[in-house]
């Protein structure tokens, strides 16, 4: 049986395994609150309706923030989510009406339903993650979600009525129903990846929406209702590259104009899924991604370019699909932790020809 031990002001407890959980904010707390370093989780509802709380400091030791943790914190204007958080839970910042700036780290892969609902002040330069790496980004005209995000839940940004622009990154596959509903000032959306699932009326009530730019026009036509079809427009990949260079080379992923070649990965990506339909990973696409721990390669990939994964020091295993026909030199150069390269059953001879000899002992065939 776990024993709960008070640590600070009866609001932090430690379980039997040494994990520390912040339980609740002191009643009627005003001004700034600093969560003690060493806390690993913030409990659900911990700060709910702390309407006089003006700012919060979350230490990098925190790895989980519970649902509705900051709901109704109407005085908070800015928040920095620590690196290591994987999910922004249901209703985490719901009703934070003065919240104008949120920095989301490149470890987050899910934004659950109602996460930022009715954050009516959320407007510009919101979602980039700069403070951990001392990056300065100015004059940012688009709000960029981290490339690690895969799912945007139902009503996640509903009622964010100050939001004017949004860039949805390559990793996103699912946009939930009413995800951006009632974003009354939203004018333009860039959809950089291949969306496979869209809920009902994701942009209802977006009265100023003029353009939904995408590399995958056919896919969005099939997923969105006819009322949005006239808004869907082609996105020029070269414009993406220019845009990338104008803000920070490290923070955005790029693909070729037809979406078939993966060109460049954000240097701060930790987990990355290349969408189905991409056929080539170009030379040095992931080179120097020192934080990258996991990459998913679809069965449509046929070519991997020179040095594509060089310097990815933290990847321990990788799965290569049978569709691959060529692998460039030094693809896995500088892999300090690489233990196993998984390949389809019966394909060892093929991959021994594609990979250098020093990697042959790492090849492991997957049994059917």
Higher per-residue confidence, 104 vs 335 = 104
Asked if pLDDT for residue 2 goes beyond 50, the answer is no
As a whole number of angstroms, the distance between CA 288 and CA 266 comes to 10
Asked if pLDDT for residue 190 goes beyond 50, the answer is yes
Residue 227: strand, helix, or coil: helix
Task: Name the region of 266 (left: φ>0; alpha: ψ -120 to 50; beta: rest).
Answer: beta
Q: Which residue is associated with the tokens 């009530």?
A: 205
Higher per-residue confidence, 38 vs 180 = 180
1-5, 83-87, 289-293: which has the minimum mean pLDDT? 1-5
Query: In the predicted model, what is the mean pLDDT of residues 233-250?
Result: 52
Asked if pLDDT for residue 367 goes beyond 80, the answer is no
Residue 41 lies in a domain: no
Contact call for residues 93 and 119 (beta carbons, < 8 A): yes
User: Which one, of 310, 305, 299, lies nearest residue 261 by Cα?
Assistant: 305
Residue 63 lies in a domain: no
pTM exceeding 0.85: no
Could you tell me the CATH number of the domain that includes residue 335?
Answer: 3.80.10.10
Residue 163 lies in a domain: no
pLDDT in tens, 80-134: 888 788 899 999 999 999 998 888 877 788 999 999 999 999 875 444 444 333 3
pLDDT in tens, 159-182: 999 988 888 877 788 999 999 999
Residue 301 lies in a domain: yes
What order do you get walking across the sheet with 363-366 strand by strand? 317-319, 340-344, 363-366
As a whole number of angstroms, the distance between CA 97 and CA 74 comes to 5
What is the separation of C-alpha 153 from the centre of its chain, rounded to a whole number of angstroms? 13
Residue 224 lies in a domain: no
- Count of domains in the chain? 1
Q: Which residue is associated with the tokens 């996991």?
A: 294
Residue 35 lies in a domain: no
Helices (H), the chain: 217-223, 237-247, 348-354
Asked if pLDDT for residue 322 goes beyond 90, the answer is yes
Q: How crowded is residue 140: how many other Cβ atoms within 10 Å of its Cβ? A: 19
Residue 109 lies in a domain: no
Residue 101 lies in a domain: no
User: Which residues have C-beta within 8 Å of that of residue 356, sequence separation ≥ 6?
Assistant: 329
Provide the residue range defining the domain that includes 271: 244-366
pLDDT in tens, 46-59: 999 999 999 999 99
């Amino acid at each position: 049986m776990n024993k709960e031990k008070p640590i600070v002001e009866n609001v932090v407890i430690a379980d039997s395994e040494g994990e520390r959980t912040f339980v609740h904010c002191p009643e009627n707390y005003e001004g700034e609150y600093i969560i003690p370093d060493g806390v690993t989780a913030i409990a659900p509802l911990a700060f709910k309706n702390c309407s006089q709380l003006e700012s919060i400091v979350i230490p990098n030791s925190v790895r989980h923030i519970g649902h509705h943790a900051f709901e109704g914190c109407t005085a908070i204007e800015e928040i920095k989510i620590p690196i290591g958080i994987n999910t922004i839970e249901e209703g985490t910042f719901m009703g934070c009406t003065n919240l104008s700036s949120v920095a989301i780290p490149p470890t987050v892969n899910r934004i659950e339903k109602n996460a930022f609902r009715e954050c009516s002040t959320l407007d510009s330069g919101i979602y980039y993650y700069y403070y951990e790496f001392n990056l300065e980004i100015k004059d940012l005209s688009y709000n960029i979600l981290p490339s690690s995000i895969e799912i945007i839940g139902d009503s996640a940004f509903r009622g964010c009525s100050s939001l004017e622009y949004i860039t949805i990154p390559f990793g996103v596959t699912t946009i939930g129903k009413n995800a951006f509903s009632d974003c009354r000032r939203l004018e333009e959306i860039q959809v950089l990846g291949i969306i496979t699932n869209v809920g009902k009326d994701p942009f209802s009530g977006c009265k100023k929406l003029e353009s939904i730019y995408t590399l995958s026009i056919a896919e969005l036509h099939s997923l969105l209702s006819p009322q949005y079809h006239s808004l869907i427009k082609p996105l020029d990949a070269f414009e993406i590259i220019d845009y990338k260079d104008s803000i920070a080379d490290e923070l955005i992923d790029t693909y070729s104009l037809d979406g078939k070649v993966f060109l460049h990965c954000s240097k701060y990506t930790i987990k990355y899924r290349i969408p189905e339909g991409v056929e080539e990973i170009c030379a040095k696409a992931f080179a120097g991604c020192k934080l990258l721990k996991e990459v998913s390669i679809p069965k449509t990939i046929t070519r991997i370019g020179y040095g594509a994964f060089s310097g990815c020091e933290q990847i321990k295993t990788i799965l290569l699909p049978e569709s691959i026909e060529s692998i460039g030199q030094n693809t896995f150069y500088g892999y300090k932790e690489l233990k196993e390269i998984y390949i389809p059953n019966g394909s060892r001879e093929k991959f021994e020809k594609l990979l250098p000899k020093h990697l042959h002992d790492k090849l492991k065939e997957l049994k059917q």
